[in-house]
Structure 1
Amino acid sequence: MLSDETLEILSGIDLEIKKGDSLAIVGRSGSGKTTLLGLLAGLDTASDGSIFILDRDLSNMGEEDRAALRAQHVGFIFQSFQLLSSLTALENVMLPLELRGDKNAKQEAEEFLQRVGLGERVGHFPHQLSGGEQQRVAIARAFACKPSILFADEPTGNLDTATGQNIIDLLFELNRSEATTLIMVTHDDSLAARCNSTLRLESGRVSA
């Protein structure tokens, strides 16, 4: 039997993130971290309140406009990599560039794969790459679009400690070099400590 009660996942969230800053969203499983990330990125819509990206109010935009804003200004790194198995590393990085009509897609994709240390692996498919290499392809894909904001959901969750540390070093290095605002969900307090600020959630609310 379905309840008539409203399920409140997030409440009372009030934050401002400046250009070039890095923010860690932390909290226990079920605290609302990934939900907040999805709202901030415009992947989901809030039932109340406003979210602004680059002075544009997401609540006043339709899905097509939000998708266009994401394509132009937003990058994503997912815990599960989200690479297309039928495409090579190079083609995976090129895809979002081609979708937005970038005429130099191949050159830019090759450049970023070089920067993440995969210059010799551009022709390999995801199943031919290790977990760390796949995550580096995902990072290259995200940064190749030169996003204003990068969202990362547990970017090292599927990696061993050593590989995860290398990925994080690379993430912050590229964050600094490209002046990209970084917003990440993580369970790792040591990783959160490397960000400029931390937002801790507990049962959908900001915890002190």
Structure 2
Amino acid sequence: MITAQAVEKSVETSEGSLCILNAINCQINAGESVAIVGSSGSGKSTLLGLLAGLDVPSKGSIILGGTEITALNEDQRAQVRADLVGFVFQSFQLLPSLTALENVMLPAELNGVAGARQLAEKYLQRVGLDHRYHHYPRQLSGGEQQRVAIARAFASQPKILFADEPTGNLDTTTGAHVIDLLFDLNREEGATLVLVTHEQRLAERCQRSITLDAGEIVADSLQSPAVPPIQTEA
């Protein structure tokens, strides 16, 4: 489903070239749940952005859903993302001028998904926000906004879901509930899940963990035994 081959990412600074990622080789199979972990500054979010086609590497190739996205221009990469990918970010990234329902509908509508409103209603109900259809982001708590973001990601029916620190702006209890929703929906939909996190308990919910240190993969291991869901209040 996702393959990175000899991927490097460098940026130019006032002090010269800075290597963020070096010699990255990995493969993520369809239906897997994979955590990308490591200390702050290890390159986790940069790697996720490259795998998702949000950025391009300085060297190497990335294949996403059978397409070598490193050989495409930005418009072509955007189309691949629209066809295959859903996103959940730490900062929610909801449009403030749209209601919860409209935020969830928008990506599906833009991608020409039939029955976008019905899908949006379905996933808002699934995350427990059927009573918040017509509320704007400013009228929602942080946990509710993140649940809207999860509903939006799944409403576009992605084959791959990327999540970047999805509980980073949430308190412990709310974050645990959001994580349960994310994994429940991912299991039900059969999507591939790739997430960046600094939380060990979240990484342990994934089938596999890729550890970065100073821009290089230092461990790539299956999680065993499986960790049961975190028990939270509804």
Bin of the TM-score, shorter chain as denominator length: over 0.9
Which residue matches 1:51? 62
Q: Which runs of 5+ in 1 are unaligned?
A: none
Which residue matches 2:72? 61
- The one of 185, 191, 194 equivalent to 1:183 is 194
What secondary structure does 1:86 align onto? coil
Q: Say whether the 8 Å CA contact 2:86–2:160 is kept in structure 1.
A: yes
Per-residue deviation, 1:102: 2.6
- The one of 108, 124, 133 equivalent to 1:97 is 108
- The one of the two structures with greater contact order (alpha-carbon pairs below 8 A, sep at least 6) is 1
CA distance in 1, matches of 2:175, 2:146: 9
Once the two structures are superposed, what CA deviation does each residue of 1:15-55 show, in whole Å capped at 9, x if it has no partner?
A: 11111100000111111001001000001001111100111
AA aligned to 2:156 is C
What secondary structure does 1:19 align onto? coil
CA distance in 1, matches of 2:125, 2:14: 53
Give the number of the structure whose residues are more often strand, by fraction.
Answer: 2
Which residue matches 1:7? 18
Per-residue deviation, 1:161: 0.6
Q: Which runs of 5+ in 2 are unaligned?
A: 1-12, 220-234
Per-residue deviation, 1:103: 3.6
Per-residue deviation, 1:2: 3.1
Per-residue deviation, 1:6: 2.3
CA distance in 2, matches of 1:73, 1:87: 24
Which residue matches 1:161? 172
Name the TM-score, length of structure 1 as normaliser. Answer: 0.97
AA aligned to 2:14 is L
Which residue matches 2:132? 121
CA distance in 2, matches of 1:114, 1:196: 27
What secondary structure does 1:34 align onto? helix
What secondary structure does 1:92 align onto? helix
CA distance in 2, matches of 1:182, 1:127: 28
Aligned residues between the structures:
207
CA distance in 1, matches of 2:128, 2:35: 26
- The one of 116, 119, 136 equivalent to 2:147 is 136
Per-residue deviation, 1:113: 0.3
Per-residue deviation, 1:207: 1.8
CA distance in 1, matches of 2:87, 2:59: 24
Q: List, as ranges, runs of 4+ consecutive aligned residues in structure 1 with deviation greater than 2 Å.
A: none
Which residue matches 1:33? 44
Give the root-mean-square deviation of aligned CA atoms. Answer: 1.1
CA distance in 2, matches of 1:138, 1:174: 13
